[in-house]
Structure 1
Amino acid sequence: MAINKNYTGSFILNDNERYQAILASQNYGTFYVIYAKINFKKREINGEKVDVLDNIDLKLFNYKGLINLGFLDHEGRGVKITFDKEKGKLKLRVKIKGLQADDRTVKVYGDDEEPIKYQDIKQIYVDRKLLRLTESDREYRGVYDTEYFYRSGEDFHERRRSRGTDPHPPTEDKAFNGNCEESTLMVFSKP
């Protein structure tokens, strides 16, 4: 298999030629990576031409495992941009779900009313939320939701949330006895 040079593991904020890895994770036994291409455009603000965020193209690749994951399939595709101008923090909120294979590019746009200037971005975070296979049951299309439930024969119970996402964490937490419902990762930081 040939290496595609348009997908890289390094991250350079103003490189809009490549898809750059912003998150790698594993759920349902599947290893996947989310790549982003951040695109800026020139815009005149207060008589000065500046680079502002135009859009972010996202791709999710499933590399190994049986269950394909993808972006949430609804209008807006479960992806949202927020920006804290005072802190210079750009946050990309991404909702993904198992059995949602989707190899299309998801594009989210910057806000034209409140443009995000390139020079104002100090940090970029990705906030990934994993949704249950189904809200109403432990099983969906013959697939048992192992990220949210544990089973052994007729015995089953809901898994505890991992320590980082529980507002009241248990006193003892084992890695195998929790799931990774939500995670936040810093992708980029200016000195």
Structure 2
Amino acid sequence: MKTTELTPSDLLEFSSIISLNPNYEGCWQSVYFSQLYGTSFGLYAKIIFNKKERTIDKISLRLINYKGVINLGIKSATYNSKRKRIRVEENYSKVDNKHINVISIKLVIQGLNKTTKVNDIIIDFKLPEGTENHYLEIDRSLCSMTEKKDEDITDSNVFDSEFYYRDGLRTSETISRDYRDAIGVNPTVNSKNKVIDEKGNEIDENSTTDKGSGGICPKGYSLIVF
């Protein structure tokens, strides 16, 4: 794979845009859209930005369910301060990787969860002067509706089709995806373009092969403008 030097002006070909203009502080801005359990949903953010200090202080999130029969909710949402710079494979091309700076929110979605709003996630991040490629990243994962491993998954009135297969009276089986899903893409990198873990240690990028349910479109990016 071709290794490229970090280019501060790298911009993604596809992204949303969010504004830190104080006039939009009270607005819910769209930051992520996806589909789980056949339900289309959107995620919106309200951002508190200190223009004088150039700091993003807080972010609130709101999830809206659209078409679909399973209501989705927010299990948790936290700021990942360890994830600051990432390498992006746009269109799954390993030839011309791009590098962007991110403010990353770890979002856990769960079917039948009634929480659709999370207020005041503390960010306290200072945007450097002259930065052109900072993005808000939504790093989404999916939590099973059946959280207890010893629970009979067929006892519920709603079958968790994102995590299990079933076929009549046969024992239900956990989904094991053999194809390369999107959970492990766009890894965190250091200044040497080496993939690192959350502790900052360099790791073998070929070992980041996480697979599993909810692995389609798990990440969304919004370019931050003023």
Pairing 1:143–2:152 present = no
CA distance in 2, matches of 1:53, 1:189: 11
Q: Distance in 1 between matches of 2:61 and 2:163?
A: 26
Aligned to 2:180: 163
TM-score, structure 1 as length reference:
0.70
**Helix, strand or coil at the partner of 2:126:** coil
Q: Which ranges of structure 1 fall in alignment gaps of 5 or more residues?
A: 1-9, 43-48, 171-177
- Residue matched to 2:68: 65
**What fraction of aligned residue pairs are identical, expressed as a percent?**
28
Whose strand proportion is higher, 1 or 2?
Answer: 1
Other-structure match for 1:16: 25
What CA deviation, in whole Å up to 9, does each residue of 1:110-129 have, x standing for no partner?
23xxx422745622211001
Give distance in 2, aligned partners of 1:110 and 1:189: 15
Match of 2:43 among 34, 40, 60: 34
Matches of 1:33 and 1:169, distance apart in 2: 25
- Superposed displacement of residue 101, structure 1: 1.8
Tell me the equivalent position of 2:77: 78
Alpha-carbon distance, 1:51 to partner: 2.1
Aligned match of 1:116: 126
RMSD: 3.1
Output the amino acid matched with 2:223. Answer: F
Report the Cα offset of residue 17 of structure 1: 3.2
Say whether the 8 Å CA contact 1:81–1:92 is kept in structure 2: yes
| Structure 2: runs of 5+ lacking an equivalent | 1-15, 87-99, 185-207
Equivalent residue letter for 1:97:
Q
Cα distance in 2, alignment partners of residues 131 and 104 from structure 1:
17
Picking from 131, 140, 143, the partner of 2:143 is: 131
Map of 2:111 onto structure 1: 98
Q: 2:214 aligns with which of 153, 176, 180?
A: 180
- CA change 1:179–1:108 in 2 (3 A) is same
Give the letter aligned to residue 167 of structure 2. Answer: S
Structure 1 pair 184/34, CA: closer, same or farther in 2 (3 Å)? same
What is the CA–CA distance in structure 1 between the aligned matches of 2:154 and 2:105, rounded to whole Å?
Answer: 30
Equivalenced residues, count:
162
The C-alpha deviation readout for 1:66-91, integer Å capped at 9, x for no partner, is: 2111111xxxx333343527963211
Match of 2:58 in 1: 55
Query: Which SS does the other structure have where 2:117 is aligned?
Result: coil
